[in-house]
Amino acid sequence: MHLTKKQTKKAEFPLQTRKQLFRIHRNHICFVRFILEAYDGIALMRTLDAKKGIVEIMTAPGCADEVDEILVDLRHQIPIVQLSD
Protein backbone atom coordinates (compact mmCIF):
# COMPACT_ATOMS: atom_id res chain seq x y z
CA MET A 1 0.00 0.00 0.00
CA HIS A 2 1.38 3.38 -1.01
CA LEU A 3 0.50 6.66 0.66
CA THR A 4 0.06 9.89 -1.23
CA LYS A 5 2.27 12.84 -0.31
CA LYS A 6 -0.63 14.42 1.56
CA GLN A 7 -1.27 11.24 3.57
CA THR A 8 2.45 10.88 4.35
CA LYS A 9 2.66 14.44 5.68
CA LYS A 10 -0.37 13.91 7.90
CA ALA A 11 1.15 10.73 9.32
CA GLU A 12 4.46 12.44 10.12
CA PHE A 13 3.38 15.69 11.75
CA PRO A 14 0.25 16.90 13.50
CA LEU A 15 -1.14 19.97 11.77
CA GLN A 16 -2.27 21.87 14.84
CA THR A 17 -0.40 23.63 17.59
CA ARG A 18 -0.54 21.75 20.90
CA LYS A 19 -1.63 23.91 23.84
CA GLN A 20 -0.95 22.85 27.43
CA LEU A 21 -1.35 24.53 30.81
CA PHE A 22 1.28 24.28 33.54
CA ARG A 23 1.89 25.63 37.01
CA ILE A 24 5.41 26.94 37.56
CA HIS A 25 6.58 28.91 40.58
CA ARG A 26 6.46 32.55 39.53
CA ASN A 27 10.18 32.99 40.24
CA HIS A 28 10.92 30.44 37.49
CA ILE A 29 8.54 31.64 34.75
CA CYS A 30 11.15 33.78 32.97
CA PHE A 31 13.75 31.03 33.17
CA VAL A 32 11.43 28.49 31.51
CA ARG A 33 10.38 31.03 28.87
CA PHE A 34 14.03 31.78 28.02
CA ILE A 35 14.88 28.08 27.76
CA LEU A 36 11.99 27.48 25.35
CA GLU A 37 12.90 30.56 23.31
CA ALA A 38 16.47 29.27 22.98
CA TYR A 39 15.05 26.38 20.91
CA ASP A 40 13.99 28.70 18.12
CA GLY A 41 10.51 28.08 16.76
CA ILE A 42 9.49 24.92 18.63
CA ALA A 43 7.29 26.49 21.32
CA LEU A 44 5.94 29.70 22.76
CA MET A 45 4.99 30.32 26.35
CA ARG A 46 2.61 32.92 27.72
CA THR A 47 1.76 33.72 31.29
CA LEU A 48 -1.94 33.49 32.07
CA ASP A 49 -1.76 34.22 35.82
CA ALA A 50 1.60 35.38 37.17
CA LYS A 51 0.58 35.25 40.83
CA LYS A 52 -0.55 31.62 40.57
CA GLY A 53 2.22 30.67 38.13
CA ILE A 54 -0.17 29.48 35.43
CA VAL A 55 1.38 29.42 31.97
CA GLU A 56 0.35 28.10 28.57
CA ILE A 57 2.91 26.40 26.36
CA MET A 58 2.03 26.29 22.67
CA THR A 59 4.06 23.67 20.83
CA ALA A 60 4.60 23.94 17.08
CA PRO A 61 3.35 21.07 14.91
CA GLY A 62 5.89 18.25 14.82
CA CYS A 63 7.84 19.49 17.85
CA ALA A 64 5.97 17.80 20.71
CA ASP A 65 8.68 15.22 21.43
CA GLU A 66 11.39 17.89 21.68
CA VAL A 67 9.32 20.10 23.97
CA ASP A 68 8.43 17.11 26.15
CA GLU A 69 12.14 16.26 26.50
CA ILE A 70 12.95 19.85 27.48
CA LEU A 71 10.19 19.86 30.11
CA VAL A 72 11.33 16.52 31.54
CA ASP A 73 14.84 17.92 31.88
CA LEU A 74 13.58 21.15 33.47
CA ARG A 75 11.56 19.14 36.00
CA HIS A 76 14.85 17.85 37.41
CA GLN A 77 15.69 21.46 38.34
CA ILE A 78 12.36 23.11 39.14
CA PRO A 79 8.82 21.93 39.94
CA ILE A 80 6.57 22.04 36.88
CA VAL A 81 3.01 20.73 37.24
CA GLN A 82 1.02 19.94 34.12
CA LEU A 83 -2.59 21.11 34.46
CA SER A 84 -3.95 20.03 31.06
CA ASP A 85 -3.03 17.92 28.04
Confidence label for 1 from pLDDT (cuts 50, 70 and 90): very low
Whichever domain contains 59, its CATH number is 3.30.70
Domain count, the chain: 1
> Looking at the domain assignment, is residue 2 inside a domain?
no
> Looking at the domain assignment, is residue 38 inside a domain?
yes
Q: What value does the mean pLDDT take over residues 7-18?
A: 66
What does the pLDDT look like over 15-36, one tens digit per residue? 789 999 999 999 999 999 999 9
- Which residues touch 7 (CB under 8 Å, ≥6 apart)? none
> Looking at the domain assignment, is residue 59 inside a domain?
yes
- Distance, in Å, from the CA atom of 45 to the CA atom of 32, rounded to the nearest integer, reads 8
Map residue 50 onto helix, strand or coil: coil
**pLDDT, position 24:** 97
Rounded to two decimals, the pTM is: 0.79
Give the domain extent around 58: 14-82
